[in-house]
Amino acid sequence: MASSREQLRIDKHVAYIVGLEKKTKTTDALYFTDHKRLSGVYWALSSLALMRKLHVLPQDTILDYVLSCYHSDVAAFSGNTDQDPHLLYTLSGVQILAMYDKLHLIDADRVVANIAALQRPDGSFAGDKWGEIDTRFTYCALLCAAILRRSHLLDVPAAVRYVLRCQNFDGGFGCIAGAESHAGQVFCCVGSLYLADAMDEMTREDRERLALWLCERQLPCGGLNGRPDKLEDVCYSWWVLSSLKMLGHVDWIDADKLIAFIGRSEDDVDGGFADRPGDMSDVFHTFFALAGLSLLGNKQLADIHPAYALTTDVVQRVTEPSA
Ligand code: FPP
Ligand code: ZN
């Protein structure tokens, strides 16, 4: 994209995503790496949904694949067929089914009961039976439960207490209590507090210190990094902006400079976005570039919800009282 206000090449980006799906079938070159494939499908479908083109890929084929990653014995998803289930992929599976309005295809009571079994007495969550703890998994647990309307099956107050213990003196959050602040983990922690309706459990001072730390992620080139002294990266357009949006301070960053940076990372010949200008496009950065632009008000794109990481029409459907 030559200038910050130029039109996005929607046709190219749709063709790029559709091309990935074709390659997946013919050469087994996957959406992303093998073990993360279900998340790759979520990034691809979400990119299309943001461009209002979810229908261009065959829903039945995709649902067959998604369900091949569902382990009915433990009511959880794995990253690819024949791999072990993990909360990261249970979230991707649940998000994809929510997009297609097919949540009835899984046993929601058992999915959330098995997530509840991963919660520790201190409120934290393990990602799977092997027991690694990470605030990413807290976010996955709370978001799955919210989408499946079963948050009451989790100990949400304990989860909130644990997340608050992960906030550092600089306002940021890390992957466990005491770990270095990282914008990806900030997203997970702020998202968790938002989903738990507990944003006010951070003091106003802590919320503002956090928002300032997030604004400091913007570099002179306009792009954002995930931690001090790291390179700018398009995916932080999402991790940082969505957090700022939930904190009510999205206007604290320089939107024009960020839009221009994301534009320079766009491949306007073959489609897709890279992590930074000059690199190769991939589906992960394509989704987070589009999601960031949506949060910045791009009218070519559907609106995305900063905590659910789904377009707002899907969030409305899964949260409306009568459903
Ligand atoms: C940076 O990762 C990002 C994170 C640590 C957050 C990951 C969050 C999830 C997996 C939860 C699900 C997310 C959504 C949007 C539904 P990185 O490994 O790229 O970090 P690096 O830049 O330090 O290498
Ligand atoms: Zn990145």
Instruction: Please give the tally of structural domains in the chain.
Output: 1
Is 279's pLDDT higher than 60? yes
The residue-averaged pLDDT of 188-192 equals 98
Q: Taking 70 as the threshold, does the pLDDT of residue 26 lie above it?
A: no
**Residue 21 — very low, low, confident or very high, per pLDDT cuts 50/70/90?**
confident
Question: Which residue's C-alpha comes closest to atom 16 of ligand 1?
Answer: 309
Tell me the CATH number at 295.
1.50.10.20
pTM over 0.85: yes
> Is the distance from the beta carbon of residue 184 to the nearest atom of ligand 1 less than 6 Å?
yes
Residue 5 pLDDT exceeds 90: no
- Averaged pLDDT score across all residues of the chain: 94
Over residues 252-272, mean pLDDT: 96
The predicted-structure confidence for 53-109, as pLDDT tens digits, reads as follows 999 999 999 999 999 999 999 999 999 998 999 999 999 999 999 999 999 999 999
309 ligand 1 Cβ < 6 A:
yes
Is 226 touching ligand 1 by the criterion CB < 6 Å? yes
* Closest protein CA for atom 17 of ligand 1: 184
3 pLDDT band, cuts 50/70/90, is very low
Residue 76's H or E segment, with its range, is: strand 76-77
Residue 226 clears pLDDT 70, i.e. is over it = yes
Nearest-Å Rg of the Cα atoms of the chain is 19
Give the separation between CA 232 and CA 286, rounded to whole angstroms: 15
Task: Give kind and range of the element (H or E) at residue 70.
Answer: strand 70-71
Q: What is the whole-number distance in angstroms between the Cα of residue 40 and the centre of ligand 2?
A: 14
* Mutate which of 135, 235, 243, 294 for ligand 1 pocket (most atoms within 8 A of beta carbon): 235
Look up residue 303 and give its two tokens: 């609106």
Note whether residue 5 is domain-resident.
no
Look at ligand 1, atom 18, and give the residue with the nearest C-alpha. Answer: 184
Inter-residue contact 86 to 140 (CB < 8 Å): no
Look at residue 100 and tell me if it is in a domain.
Answer: yes
CA of 323 to the centre of ligand 1 (A): 31
Q: Using the predicted structure, report yes or no on whether residue 131 has a pLDDT greater than 70.
A: yes
> Which pLDDT belongs to residue 321?
87
Q: For ligand 1, say whether the CB of 136 is within 6 Å of any of its atoms.
A: yes
Does 127 sit in the ligand 1 pocket, CB within 6 Å?
no
The whole-number pLDDT of residue 137 equals: 98
Which residue pairs from 156-160 have beta carbons closer than 8 angstroms and sit at least 24 positions apart in sequence?
Answer: 156/196, 157/123, 158/119, 158/121, 158/122, 158/123, 159/119, 159/123, 159/124, 159/125, 159/192, 159/196, 160/123, 160/192, 160/193, 160/196, 160/198, 160/201
Ligand nearest to the CA of 285: 2
Tell me: pLDDT of 225 over 80.
yes
Residue 190 Cβ < 6 Å to ligand 1: no
pLDDT band of 125, cuts 50, 70, 90: very high
pLDDT of 33 > 60? The answer is no
The answer to whether residue 120 scores a pLDDT higher than 80 is: yes
Alpha carbons within 13 angstroms on the beta-carbon side of residue 296 total 25
d(CA 197, CA 210): 18
Ligand 1 atom 5, closest CA: 184
Question: Is the torsion defined by CA of 98, 7, 288, 237 positive or negative?
Answer: negative
**Owning domain of residue 21:** 10-319
Residue 203, in any domain of the structure: yes
Domain-embedded: residue 209: yes
With vertex at residue 7, the alpha carbon angle to CA 307 and CA 251, rounded to the nearest 5 degrees, is 40
Percentage of the chain lying above the pLDDT 70 cut: 94
Confidence class of residue 7 from pLDDT cuts 50, 70 and 90? confident
Token pair in block for residue 197: 């309706």
| For the chain, percent of residues with pLDDT exceeding 90 | 91
Asked if residue 4 belongs to a domain, the reply is no
Taking only the tens place, the pLDDT of each residue in 196-221 is: 999 999 999 999 999 999 999 999 99
117 contacts 153 by C-beta, under 8 angstroms: no
212 falls within a domain: yes
Is the distance from the beta carbon of residue 175 to the nearest atom of ligand 1 less than 6 Å? no
Q: Does residue 2 lie in a domain region?
A: no
Taking phi over 0 as left and psi of -120 to 50 as alpha, with beta for the rest, 82 belongs to: left
234 lines ligand 1 (CB under 6 A): no
Ligand 2 centre from 239 Cα, in Å?
10
| Residue owning the nearest CA to atom 22 of ligand 1 | 226
Better-predicted residue by pLDDT, 281 or 22: 281
What sign results for the dihedral spanned by CA atoms 32, 190, 138, 171?
Answer: positive
Does residue 312 lie within any of the structural domains? Answer: yes
The protein residue whose alpha carbon is closest to atom 4 in ligand 1 is 184
Provide the 3-class DSSP secondary structure of residue 300. coil
pLDDT grade, residue 300 (50/70/90)?
Answer: very high
pLDDT number for residue 323? 52
